[in-house]
Amino acid sequence: MKKSLSNIWYQFRQAFSVTAESINTTTATGEVVLEVATAIQSQGANLEILQLLLQNSSSLLDVLCSPLTPIITGELSFLSLGVAVLKSYRDLSQETPTLADYISIISQVAYLESIRDILSLYPSLNYDHPNKNEELGKILATINNIELDEKTAIQTIECFHKSELAVAFNQLLSTRLISDYLGKYPARLLAKRIAVNTNSHIIKFLIDLEDDIIPNCRDTWTAECQNIQNIQEYLKHHIDTQALDQVFDQTCSLKNIYIPLKAQSVNQYGQININAESCDLEAWVKKNILTENNLEKFIFIQGKRGRGKSVFCKIFANWIRQHLHPYWTPILINVKDIKVLSSQLAETLTANLDISLIRGDHNWLRNKNHRFVFIFDGWDELPTASRNNQNLEKFIRQVSEFQQQCENDESMGHKVLITSNVIPLSIISNLPTNLERVEILPLDQQQQQQWLGKWQSLPNNHGKNTDLQQFLVNQKCPAIIQKLICEPLLLYFLAGMYRDDQLVIDNLAADNTRTATALIYQAVINWLISKSGDTFHDQLPNLKDILTEAAVAVTQSGEEFSAISMLKSRLGDDAKSITDEIIKTPLADFYVYPDHESDNQVKFSHQSFREFLFADRLKLSLTAWTQYYNTESAKELITNEAEMNWQIYDLLGFGILTQEIVEYLMGLMIAIPNFRWVQLYRRLDDFYVSWCQGKFIDTAEETLPQTKLRELQNAGVYQLGQRQVDVYAGLNVMILLLAIQRYAQEDELLKEHIIFYPSGQPEENNFTYQLQNIIYYSSCLQGENFRSLVGQFLGGAHLRSASLLQINLSYADLTEADLSRASLYGANFSYANLNRAYFIGSDLRDVDFSGANLAETYLSGANLSRANLCGANLQDVDLSRANLSGADLRGANFDGANFMGAIFSDNTFGAIRWDEKTNWQNVEGLEMAKNVPLTLKKRFLRDF
């Protein structure tokens, strides 16, 4: 049987022999509740004081009509008040209260306790503004008319914040809070947060109450209470502390110098949408999370290395802890720490989260009282054991399906946020559609000034050189340096070195971004090594060499860290300086335990340090391969062919080089005066030709791949086989040759001497098959392929006359590549970047160019019969004399294209297909094209 709250209150009055008079809610009635609560706190409960409460109030929530400061700042126990009322009622009436009776009181006192928990976090707000008793009285009257029975009481216990009581209580509280100091939206958000927090007090009350009001539920309540406590411990030790992490030189915390970042939406090609407005990243994410019924899409934040993604995750997770928990609870996960990638995200979370609340509770994600914001930082940093394009795609699909499940299952109200480095679409082409995707922008001038203002105000910086602008306006300062301070990490490095008098203008001379960046990192490494202190330098006098080899070891391990044994094997005699102790530096930490050798490891403080030092190590070898010594008869190479071949496998036979490593490497090498580029190119090209012929793997003797594989396995790296080591070594040399060629084409002296042909040098009227064979060979890499590994490096490639029949190069970067006279029948170039590429005279029958960027591409004389050009961008493309018969041109953009002599139809393949979305504006030569469809002529020809 249902009873209203007012009837239950009347029932209590009768038991306490209180006259049943009508009460008008006023400040006075609220003060009575406070008076009684204070008395019980100081002297315990008695009949007289409880009669005073029941005689002069209509409910315990009357207290919200009085000033809130005593509630928030006092030490009153409303739970004690509730216990006193219920126990005294049971004693006086000689009856056990019904479940509805219990919940009518428990819900109110628990809500009042929750109000104190949350509002006490904001002491600066003024809660004692002019009263709204008339308006509050009407809401209280509505609350008192709410009816409860056993079913609704149980539902209230199970999930208070979704109950009818919570909705009404929230309306009362938010109305009370709205003022000149607090707007409607934040007041309602506070009320929702308080309602969710009420659950913990209800559970605590039920456990402390001796009455067994619901049989066999005490264990469940105890477990839930433990879950709540575990979450609080996690937030305290894993979220609150991360915002206080020290920056590299240990002079301040992340929180001290963090400034809000800006972001912009991203298009289907993964590029910034230039037509969209930028936004405050934190405000955008907050709006996304706090918008009601917005669980359909997960949040995807991409940004270049050093843009502040990880710092944002730490700061934002802590903001959720401070201002939203338990309405939302942050769980911060470094993707690089994920060891097990299961078939579903829920299983992946359970397998990798070290949070006690999920142990033994298979339904932890379906607990309606806990809504999590799962923040996955560094999607692209999935450990190598799991990281290939299939597993990256598998992981993002898991997230997509999990978010859809959260939308469709009312017991799962979670939200997922992912950060990632900007990943070329050649690696992951099929991103889910249910994501909101933005990219972090470089710092603008206002943000730079804001950051520098925080930097100058740091206590440790007082009296030091903190005005970086003085350095930047120096006439000797390279202009490129002023552009690089828009990157947060580089801004910090420059400011730190300038403060410590370690920033030397002459050491930063550069005329391009990659060289300037490399020179900055070179200076940063030396600066941070100098910050290690004299004691440390006594322990590791050759620290730079150790860190360089450590970078190789960690990179090749595929994890965030490497076993010390792998580092020692690379150091040789220098390994003696690594003693059995824990040594921490601003760049990397060395954990060496004499009794637990399996736990010994080295770990870098930032991925960019590891990648730069790895590039620096590569530079040393590449430089050595170009050096000679004089003999009596001639010059001899210091590193002979056999030695170089082994060093290539040793350095490059582990996995694929990242774009960042290649950029650092080229920046370092370009800075070397009079470097022997042609010599390096020839030696690498000789290796590449031999590798393509299988020289290093097809032998009865022990092979170089086998030797390298054994070294890796001795260090605990087991995910590779001999073929994989061989493939990676060859593909990495190809990547280096492509990078060298791109640089050489910018130099008038080098461009004639350095021309790399990945598929072999073309011969007259013959196709080359070398690259096609390499692509097939690369298929031995589980979960990866040539496109995903090398596709981002193919810009400017010389592929003239290459046979690439039905090869998949979708999403690849082939900007300015030469594919003239190539055999490309049935190849897949969908969504590839082919801007200014050459296809002159190529066989492009049945090629898939859907969604590709073919702007300014040279397709003169190409055979495009039955080609798929749906949605492709062919702006300003040269299609003169091209055969387009049977091609699908629906949605293609031909703005400014040249069709002079092009064939639109023939008897074999039929006519082109086009629709109203096909853009024919500003085309040229259409009147001189052949077999133009009549409908196209009628519609457009008169305009040309």
Digit-coded pLDDT (tens) for 882-906:
999 999 999 999 999 999 999 999 9
- Please check whether the domain covering 757-943 is classified as CATH 2.160.20: yes
- The Cα 312–Cα 257 span in angstroms is 12
* pLDDT, tens digit (0-9, with 9 covering 90-100), for 423-476: 766 567 678 889 999 999 999 999 999 999 999 999 999 989 999 988 888 877
- Would you state the pLDDT for residue 937? 82
- Would you state the pLDDT for residue 42? 86
Mean pLDDT of 710-723: 90
- Tell whether the model's pLDDT for residue 339 goes beyond 90: no
Please report, rounded to a whole number, the percentage of residues in the chain having pLDDT higher than 70.
94
- Tell whether the model's pLDDT for residue 491 goes beyond 60: yes
- Tell whether the model's pLDDT for residue 941 goes beyond 60: no
- The Cα 874–Cα 852 span in angstroms is 9
Cα dihedral 168→173→178→181 (10° resolution)? -160
- Tell whether the model's pLDDT for residue 859 goes beyond 90: yes
The closest of 510, 526, 517, 511 to 490, measured between CA atoms, is 517
- The Cα 808–Cα 895 span in angstroms is 27
- The Cα 208–Cα 218 span in angstroms is 10
Cα dihedral 796→801→804→810 (10° resolution)? 30
Confidence of residue 1 (pLDDT cuts 50, 70, 90): confident
CA distances from residue 124 to 73, 172, 321, 491, 762 in whole angstroms, order as listed: 12, 22, 19, 35, 76
Cα dihedral 861→865→867→871 (10° resolution)? 70
* pLDDT, tens digit (0-9, with 9 covering 90-100), for 42-61: 888 899 999 999 999 999 99
Mean pLDDT of 3-13: 94
CA distances from residue 484 to 306, 451, 512, 746, 900 in whole angstroms, order as listed: 11, 14, 11, 22, 45
Q: Average per-residue pLDDT in the chain? A: 90
- Tell whether the model's pLDDT for residue 393 goes beyond 90: no
Confidence of residue 355 (pLDDT cuts 50, 70, 90): low
SS3 420: strand
- Tell whether the model's pLDDT for residue 535 goes beyond 80: no
Identify the residue whose tokens are 């339904």. Answer: 363
CATH class of 237-440: alpha beta
- Would you state the pLDDT for residue 733? 99
- The Cα 492–Cα 256 span in angstroms is 12
Task: Tell which wins on pLDDT, 539 or 7.
Answer: 7
CA distances from residue 775 to 103, 644, 783 in whole angstroms, order as listed: 69, 25, 14
* pLDDT, tens digit (0-9, with 9 covering 90-100), for 364-378: 899 999 999 999 999
Q: Name the most confidently modeled range: 9-18, 554-563, 675-684.
A: 675-684
* pLDDT, tens digit (0-9, with 9 covering 90-100), for 113-147: 999 999 999 988 887 765 667 889 899 999 999 99
Confidence of residue 597 (pLDDT cuts 50, 70, 90): low
* pLDDT, tens digit (0-9, with 9 covering 90-100), for 259-296: 999 999 998 777 888 889 999 999 999 999 999 889 99
Confidence of residue 75 (pLDDT cuts 50, 70, 90): confident
Residue type, 216: N
SS3 697: coil
630 Cβ neighbours under 8 A, 6+ residues apart:
636
β-pair partners for 376: 333, 418
- Tell whether the model's pLDDT for residue 588 goes beyond 60: yes
pTM: 0.88
Compute the radius of gyration of the chain from its Cα atoms. Answer: 35
Would you list the domain boundaries of the chain?
Answer: 3-215, 237-440, 443-532, 757-943
- Would you state the pLDDT for residue 624? 97
